[in-house]
Amino acid sequence: MIGYGLCDTLCLADVNKEAIDACRRTIHDNGLTARVSVYWSDNLGNIPSSEQWDLVVGNPPHFDGTATAELRYCDENWRLHRAFFASVGRFLKPGGVIVLQENNQGSTADSFYRMIEESNLSVVFVHGCQPERTPYSRYYYIGIVRRGDTPPPWATAMSKY
pLDDT in tens, 137-150: 799 999 999 999 99
Alpha helix ranges (H) inside 51-107: 79-88
Domain ranges of the chain: 1-40, 50-156
pLDDT of residue 6: 82
CATH 3.20.20.120 corresponds to the domain 50-156: no
pLDDT of residue 75: 83
CA distance 131 to 134: 9
How high is the mean pLDDT of the chain? 90
- The residue ranking higher by pLDDT, 59 or 71, is 59
| Number of Cβ within a 10 Å radius of residue 24 | 15
Please check whether residue 39 is in contact with residue 83, taking contact to mean a CB–CB distance below 8 angstroms: no
Q: How far apart are CA 33 and CA 26, in angstroms?
A: 10
The neighbour count for residue 147, using CB atoms within 10 Å, is 12
Indicate whether 14 pLDDT > 70: yes
> The dihedral of CA 56, 111, 61, 80: what is its sign?
positive
User: Would you give the DSSP letter of residue 90?
Assistant: G
- DSSP conformation class of 94: E
Structure pTM? Answer: 0.89
How far apart CA 36 and CA 27 sit, in angstroms, is 7
Q: pLDDT digit string (tens) for 63-93?
A: 887 555 555 677 888 999 999 999 999 999 9
Distances (CA, A) of 101 to 34, 39, 98, 104, 137: 28, 21, 10, 10, 12
